[in-house]
Structure 1
Amino acid sequence: MTRAVPDNRPEVRAATPATRFRDAMATFPSGVTIVTTADWQGRQWGFTATSFCSLSLDPPLVLVCLAKDAQCHPAFAEADSWVVHVLGTEHSDLALRFATKGVDKFSTAVFHESSRGHPVLADAGTVLECDTYDRHDAGDHTILVGRVHEARLNPMTPAVYFRRAFHPVPAHPSAGHS
């Protein structure tokens, strides 16, 4: 019988199971999005999300995960619709801003108002306007499922978040020409 020997390399072990889990998840490259909405009073809300993916083609569904302790959680918990913006490398500062609590998230970029009153980033690579389709409780997060009712694409060099840093990925020559 072989006995397992613990791997004590500094890059492998972590202080707590939660830290180790976060470190493990940081090794998974993902795209970068911000998600925005406006509440019934017209107040704008938003957050950065790397936990985003397509869910269904028919109907066209996406999902995004929002921390329950986020300041904007109550607004998204009641929102009938919201907007996902896929970010390019030029938006890394904006992504960090939308991930920061207690700051004016909308003051450093150009947003316009959608037909439903939601803030839309003028130069986002992709904009997906969504109606809330469902919400699911998932540990310390809420999974928001949106039915996409409009998709707009613009040329961009996409940003990828990997090991807690932003990295460029060269755009395909036909990107944005669909």
Structure 2
Amino acid sequence: MSTSVDAADFDPRDLRSAFSQFATGVTVVTTVTPEGERIGVTANSFTSLSMDPPLVLWCPGRHLRSLPAFETATHFAINVLASDQHQLSRQFAAGATDKFEGVPLREGVAGIPVLEGTLATFECETTARHEAGDHVIYIGQIVRYAHAAAAPLVFHGGSYHGTTTHSSEGS
């Protein structure tokens, strides 16, 4: 049974637990600095925003060490992970020196690294940034995309999960 909590009584850990009840897909967002350094981070704060024009958004936290690279980048790629790619999620979430080590890549628009073998990729030009609490909202216009048919990697309640397919038609 759920319990309602009023704003005055919010506990950050409890609020995070409530947020974690929303299952999300898992992505790796990549970019390249003007100096050519490849940057990549795991993110689940991604959504489609508009079909006309084709826009997506993602929301990195202000604490992200690589945030300055995204602030100066003109483009980024959203790489949607498939169910068997949880190790990529962990690799790009870690503080490794070269997060791209051993990862099959191709060069995308404006030189951004695009991960090979993912469920979908969206190569985007950054069109807007909006400050929002302890995060920044990045909006990108899709310049190129690709997708494959496979099961997605899902994150819920602090863990990775598989999915079960159900028909969207009535029973």
Query: Which residue does the alignment assign to 1:146?
Result: 140
C-alpha separation in 2, matches of 1:85 and 1:171: 22
Query: Which residue does the alignment assign to 1:13?
Result: none
Which of 92, 101, 108 is matched with 2:95 structurally? 101
Which of 130, 138, 145 is matched with 1:136 structurally? 130
Compute the TM-score of the two structures, normalised by the length of structure 1. 0.84
Query: Which residue does the alignment assign to 2:57?
Result: 63
Query: Which residue does the alignment assign to 1:176?
Result: none
1:171–1:38 distance in 2 versus 1, CA, 3 Å: farther
Q: 1:17-32 residue pairs with structure 2 within 5 A?
A: 17-32=11-26
Query: Which residue does the alignment assign to 1:3?
Result: none
Structure 1: give runs of 5+ residues left out of the alignment: 1-6, 10-15, 174-178
Compute the TM-score of the two structures, normalised by the length of structure 2. 0.87
Q: Does 1:80 align with 2:74?
A: yes
Which of 161, 167, 171 is matched with 1:167 structurally? 161
C-alpha separation in 2, matches of 1:138 and 1:60: 22
Query: Which residue does the alignment assign to 2:105?
Result: 111
Q: Deviations 1:32-64 (Å, cap 9, x if unpaired)?
A: 111000000100001111111011111111000
| C-alpha contact 2:109 2:123 (8 A) present in aligned 1 | no
Q: Does 1:46 align with 2:40?
A: yes
C-alpha separation in 1, matches of 2:22 and 2:109: 35
Structure 2: give runs of 5+ residues left out of the alignment: 4-9
Query: Which residue does the alignment assign to 2:83?
Result: 89
Query: Which residue does the alignment assign to 2:6?
Result: none
CA-based RMSD of the aligned residues comes to: 2.0
SS at match of 1:150: strand
- One-letter amino acid of the counterpart of residue 139, structure 2: V
- One-letter amino acid of the counterpart of residue 51, structure 1: S
Q: Does 1:158 align with 2:152?
A: yes
Once the 2 structures are TM-superposed, how far is the Cα of residue 108 of structure 1 from its aligned partner? 3.3
Once the 2 structures are TM-superposed, how far is the Cα of residue 155 of structure 1 from its aligned partner? 2.1
Identity of aligned residues (%): 36
Give the stretch that moved more between structures: 78-87 or 91-100: 91-100
Aligned length: 160
SS at match of 1:19: helix
C-alpha separation in 2, matches of 1:45 and 1:170: 33
| C-alpha contact 2:32 2:69 (8 A) present in aligned 1 | yes
C-alpha separation in 2, matches of 1:99 and 1:24: 22
| C-alpha contact 2:42 2:93 (8 A) present in aligned 1 | yes
